[in-house]
Chains A and B, each alone.
Chain A
Amino acid sequence: MGFLTYLINGLSLGSVYAIIALGYTMVYGIAKMLNFAHGDVIMIGSYLVFIGMSNIGGEQTGVMQVVKVVVCLAVSMIICAILGMVIEKVAYKPLRKATNLAVLITAIGVSYFLQNIALLIFGSNAVSFTSIISWQGISLAGGALKITGNAIVTIIVCIIIMVALMLFVQHTKPGQAMRAVSEDRDAAVLMGINVNATISLTFIIGSGLAAIAGALLCSSYPALTPYTGSMPGIKAFTAAVFGGIGSIPGALIGGLLLGIIEILAKAYISSQLADAIVFAVLIIVLLVKPTGILGKQIKEKV
């Protein structure tokens, strides 16, 4: 039963990575840049939910608790979405024609900027995030297999987000615009697509999802500091590369695999070495398939 428990915990952590990886992969696919500040938007989102949960409406139970959580999450999502949009407009948009290196350095700068702002406001001591999921979970096989409410909700939320996003990309006009811009920006302009608006929308969606990811992550790992976002950010970026950067299903598969590998490595090999093992697996995958698991590479014929 131990293995099953680890697997479910891995799926749960992987679901969080997958949601974060979506932000990296969509921005990479559409704006062709690595937004290294994405992890820090998660941290900001977590603080926002933390503030909301500890200051609004007092202790609640039952339906009112759910309402409180939804309201706090929604506010955090909106603020993060706006933050993502502003970051893109202020920091990245002026660099649309600059070199990748300049954009990368700017992204790292934005990341430190957000961390320092958080340090100024919240200090460097960890605050203890109370789980947004009060449900204790279920107990199976006569108590031998316990699945936490956090794990179940996290996995379900991840599935809902993935399905919604794929439907959005396939069946709506802004979704089609995103696909076109990711394929060929200039050709997209010729089709009448507003590239700036499309990139902006991508940041809005990715950052909004980061707020959800942050709240779910901190519900399972409650010590929240201004640096909370950076490691999961790097891991989710790894997950995005692992699954095939630019691909939405790739973010899901990469995230889940990464979460499972990490938890299993911690359980069976060594908790100190877990991260090293995760990255070793990534390197092996990339050696075998440089585009990642679902990465596509269609050569245009000339």
Chain B
Amino acid sequence: MLEVKDLVVNYGMIQALKGISFEVNEGEVIALIGANGAGKTTTLQTISGMLSPTSGQVLLKGQDITKIPGHKIVSLGMAHVPEGRRVFAGMSVLENLKMGAYTRSSKTEISDSLERVYESFPRLKERQSQLAGTLSGGEQQMLAMGRALMSKPNIILMDEPSMGLSPIYVEEIFNIIQSISKEGTTVLLVEQNAKKALAIADRAYVLETGNIVLSGDANALMNDDSIKKAYLGE
């Protein structure tokens, strides 16, 4: 589904990604874990065309999308739930969700997707005319995820969806990610909450200052001593 090859990304003099490669197969949930500043957000932003890499390639369903501008990516079947949610604060919940379907034209298909999003997030339906900026953090996260799903993606990138949420919300968000995956959407999940991410992932990659230092089966990584020490706090 998604293949990243030797990706190098610089911010001026700072090299944020030092040549990383990984792949995400159809139907998988892949976790990308790492500490603050490891380069997780940079990776996702480069994949979705918000940043251009110095070198390397990004392939989506076999197509080279490295040079495709960011706004054309979503119609290729990839959605991105950005770090910090980035909902449109001055728009209502419903307007936010409709923005998620910006590239789609069939009204009936859009309202189908809306129904499905409301099924997954009943709370969004209750609050559909509320301004997004007045939602709680957890609700905003749900809105950001719902908005991404409105494009009917084949693969969805999520950047720290559990960040700053209370434990109950964290639980709920991870349940939703699992159900998104069950419905057939491939997931690339960036998380600092390594324990929860590994629990729902098929495979995982560990990023450390711009390099992938470890990868493998999520269960195996959960039992890996260095992972336990560095990321699971055991």
Chain A residues in contact with chain B, CB under 8 A? 173, 176-177, 179-180, 183-184, 186-195, 296, 298-302
Decide yes or no whether B56 CB sits under 8 A from chain A.
no
Neighbouring A residues of B102 by C-beta, 8 Å: 173, 176-177, 180, 191-193
| Whole-angstrom CA separation of A42 from B232 in the bound complex | 63
Q: Which of B21-29, B132-140, B196-204 touches A?
A: B132-140
Residues of A within 8 A of B134 (CB): 298, 301
Task: Tell whether, in the assembled complex, residue B82 and residue A183 are in contact, meaning their CB atoms are under 8 Å apart.
Answer: no
Question: Does the CB pair B140–A301 fall under 8 Å?
Answer: yes
B113 at the interface (CB under 8 A from A): no
Q: Which of B86-94, B174-182, B184-192, B213-221 contacts its partner? A: B86-94
A40 to B89, CA, bound (A): 34
User: Given B70, B79, B135, which contacts A189 in the complex, CB threshold below 8 Å?
Assistant: B70
- Closest CB of chain A to B170's CB: distance in Å? 15
Interface residues as binary, B89-110 with A (CB distance below 8 Å gives 1, 0 otherwise)? 1110001001110110000000
Residues of B within 8 A of A (CB): 48-50, 69-75, 79-80, 82, 84, 86-91, 95, 98-100, 102-103, 131, 133-137, 140, 147-148, 151, 164
Q: Cβ of A184 and Cβ of B88 under 8 Å apart? A: yes
Which of A187, A192, A195, A299 contacts B88 (CB under 8 A)?
A187
Give the complex CA separation of A177 and B99 in angstroms: 8
How far, in Å, is A30 (CB) from chain B's closest CB? 13
From B72, B99, B135, B151, give the contact of A180 (CB < 8 A): B99
Minimum distance in angstroms from A190 CB to a CB of chain B: 5
Known pairs A189-B50, A193-B71. 5 more at Cβ < 8 A? A177-B102, A180-B102, A183-B89, A191-B102, A192-B72
Give the complex CA separation of A302 and B84 in angstroms. Answer: 8
Q: Which of B69, B72, B79, B133 is close to A298, meaning CB atoms less than 8 Å apart? A: B133
User: Contacts A184-B86, A192-B151 known; A301 to B74 CB distance under 8 Å?
Assistant: no
A176 to B104, CA, bound (A): 14
Q: Output the least CB separation between A18 and chain B (Å).
A: 21
Q: Which of B80, B88, B100 counts the most chain A CB atoms within 10 A? A: B88
- A184 to B50 Cα, complex, angstroms: 13
30 contacts between A and B (CB under 8 A): A176-B98, A183-B89, A183-B91, A184-B88, A186-B86, A187-B88, A189-B70, A189-B71, A190-B50, A190-B70, A190-B80, A190-B86, A191-B74, A191-B147, A191-B151, A192-B72, A192-B73, A192-B74, A192-B75, A296-B90, A298-B89, A298-B90, A298-B131, A298-B133, A300-B89, A300-B140, A301-B135, A302-B84, A302-B137, A302-B164
A183-B88, A298-B133, A301-B137 known; A192 vs B82 contact (CB < 8 Å): no
- A191–B86 touching, CB < 8 Å: no
Assess whether B50 is in contact with A186, with CB atoms less than 8 Å apart: yes
Residues of B with C-beta under 8 A to A186: 50, 82, 86
